[in-house]
Each structure stands twice: as structure tokens, then as C-alpha cells.
Amino acid sequence: MPIKNRFAELLPEITEWRRDMHRHPEILFDTHRTSALVTEKLRAFGCDEVVEGIGRTGVVGVIKGRTDSTGKVVGLRADMDALPIHEQTGAEWASGTAGAMHACGHDGHTAMLLGAAKYLSETRNFDGTCVVIFQPAEEGGGGGKEMCDDGMMDRWNIQEVYGMHNWPGRKVGEFAIRPGAFFAATDVFEIALEGKGGHAAKPQEVIDTTLMGAHLVTALQQIVSRNADPTKQIVVSVTSFETSSNAFNVIPQRAHIRGTVRTMAPEMRDLAEKRMEEIAAGVAATFGGTIEVNYHRNYPVMVNHEDQTEFAAEAARAVSGQCEDAPLVMGGEDFAFMLEERPGAYILIGNGDTAPVHHPEYDFTDEAIPAGCSWWAEVVERRMPAA
């Protein structure tokens, strides 16, 4: 694998950064320690500008090439936040924070981009400007949107933007990508059911929210099986069902249902929301209770731009000698907001035969660091070749 020699030399140092972040995970926008570490490193590397507080706790670093004859500006983005999961890896660098861990590899993403920033600050072998973006709150908080809403793209005149995610099950350091829709839109819903509670021995006197909810959960599955075009991707998952009573002999007055909808096309998103409202109204009428649906549109579909995807694949082939076609992913990714503002692409890098992401036994594979750093550097040097 033709890795840049500098990253092989830097591997122990970058690994220690990564493991330090892993020991101190931070959730959503509360990435204060991580953001401070990133800021300190970028300033020590000699970045031309380092700005904190973009998107609340995001950090942006600016690295100018030796020349700037074209005015080209390329953004590179890594996410910094962890997940509310209790770690079970047993690693010596395991999380020291109860109920929080880097279960998605964002510590690895941040460490790799820091490594690339150090190299690019040392060499500056490109014609233009590189903007390194360290984002909080990817895991459900929409930190990417907040950084864009803070004017990041216009402030630094970013013209293209690239992102990367590790991928368990793919050989360490190998790449995969696809143009067009890649990661799904991720919406969430909450449904409040109100009936008439009472004694379990007198069902004729109640409006049973448990029964009403059970029918609703089953009926929601027809959105996928009977309403949606079977050639289009959609997932409707009810993930929580709670009632207002835990007693054996009480029929509860209220119930609450939560879940998620994943889609790859706007019309399927519209269909899911419309049918959920209609089905809930029908079930409520059938049983005589009330049902209120709160449908929240969260991350949009993440769409890779065709030209930038091919370029990202070329950079990957330059590093690893290969870049495979990636499958559609029904998980969400808030890099989608950045790709709505600027053309760019998102690529996967292999994490090896590890536990899946969002699993308490997952850990980022440090052996992937040189390949990831090399890809970041290759994107910059190839997209903005030295004059």
C-alpha cells in the first residue's frame, strides 16, 4: 500500500492522540476537551488561522499552500463526538467516562485529520487553501448544519468539501464510495396515545391504549409493505413503546411510541409522514381514543456529487491501489448538510474485522491511520497541485 512515509513515521504520535480522545469521550456539542485539544494541535502545527466556536464547539483550521494562483479552497471534515454507550472493549485506552464511548470511530476520524493537518502544514505542497473542519454533534445533534448556519462555507470560501468514515467489515485501509444518494434521510417520530384507563377486570369501561398502540405498531408496517414502491428504499422502525402504568391489573390511560424512518428519496419521506398521520387517525377512530403524531425531519439524504466522487475514488486508488463500489447505507450522516451547500464526496475506509459501529465492543483500528491520513493529503495535493 503506497502510504506517504511521513504518516508511517507519525503513526505512534497520531495513535496516542486517538487513544487519548478515546479515553475522554464527549457527547454531542459538549466536546470542550476535544475541541481544545484540536485547537492546541492546529496552532502548534502552524496553521495560518484557527477559529473555535463554529457551530457552538466546532473548530476550523486554515492551511495555505506555497502558492495560491487559482484561489481554490478545499474543505476536509472530521467529526469529534462520541455516543451515550457504556464501553465493553477492555482496552487499556477504554473510556474513563461512564455511559460514554467512541463507539463510531470519530476519535479515529479526528486523529487522522489532525495527522493530515500536521503534514500539510509542514509541506504546503499545493496551490490554494485547505480548510480542516472538526465538527461536533454528528450523532443526532446536527452539528454539521450548525457549522453551515454559522456561515462557515462562505466565511472561508470553501468550494468543495470531503468527508470520510471508517467501515467495519472492510479490509483495513481499503476504500469504497458511490455517487449520488449514499446515506439515508433519518427522520424520527413520537406518537402520544390517550384513552381511558381503568381496571384490567373491566375492559368494557376503558379505552385501551395498549391495544390501540399494538394495532398502530402493526399498521405502520403497511407503509413499507403496501404503500411504498418496492423498488425504493424505506425503513419504518418502532423502537420504543411505553405506557403510563406498570401494574398487572391496570389498563393505562396513556401510551407513548417512538421510532425512526429511513428513506433515500424526498417522495418517500413525504409518503411516510402522510401515511403515518392517516393511519394514526384511523386507529384512533376505531378504538375511540386520540393519537397525536409528532414527525420530525432530521438529517436529509447524503448525496455524493458525481465529479467529486470520481475524484475521491482516484485519490483512494492512488493510496491503496483500489476503491470499490459502496452499497447504499440506511444509516444517517449529517455531512449531508455540507454536501447540500457545496459539491463534494464522502468515502468509506476499512476498519477490518471488528465489532460494528454503535456497539459497546467496537474500537477504531489504529492501523488504518496512515491510509486515512494519506487519502486526506492526496485529496488536497491532487485537487490543488503545486504550481
Residues paired with 242 in a beta bridge: 256
Tell me the three cell numbers of residue 83: 455516543
What phi, psi does 18 have (nearest 5°)? -60, -45
The sign of the torsion formed by the CA atoms of 132, 136, 141, 143 equals: negative
Establish whether 130 is an annotated binding residue: no
Whether residue 129 contacts residue 160, with contact meaning beta carbons closer than 8 Å, is answered with no
Q: What's the CA angle centered on 315, arms 312 and 319, to 5 degrees?
A: 135
Q: Are 292 and 281 in contact (CB under 8 A)?
A: no
With a CB cutoff of 8 Å and minimum separation 6, the contacts of 253 are 194, 195, 196, 197, 209, 244, 245
**Is 106 within any annotated ligand binding site?**
yes
Decide if 98 contacts 49 (C-beta within 8 A).
Answer: no
Name the DSSP letter for residue 150.
Answer: T
- Grid cell 463534494 is found at 344
Residue 111 to residue 276: CA distance in whole angstroms? 42
| CB-based contact 311:160 (threshold 8 Å) | no
Q: Which of 226, 242, 232, 234 is nearest to 278 (CA)?
A: 226
Q: How far is CA 386 from the centre of its chain?
A: 33
Question: Which residues are CB-neighbours of 334 under 8 A, at least 6 positions away?
Answer: 137, 138, 142, 143, 144, 145, 299
Query: 202: exposed, middle or buried (C-beta count within 10 Å: 0-12, 13-18, 19+)?
Result: exposed
Contact yes or no for 228/271 (Cβ under 8 A): yes
**Residue 24 assigned to a binding site:** no
| CA dihedral for 314, 319, 320, 325, sign (positive or negative) | negative
Which residue numbers belong to the known binding site for Mn(2+)? 104, 106, 139, 165, 358
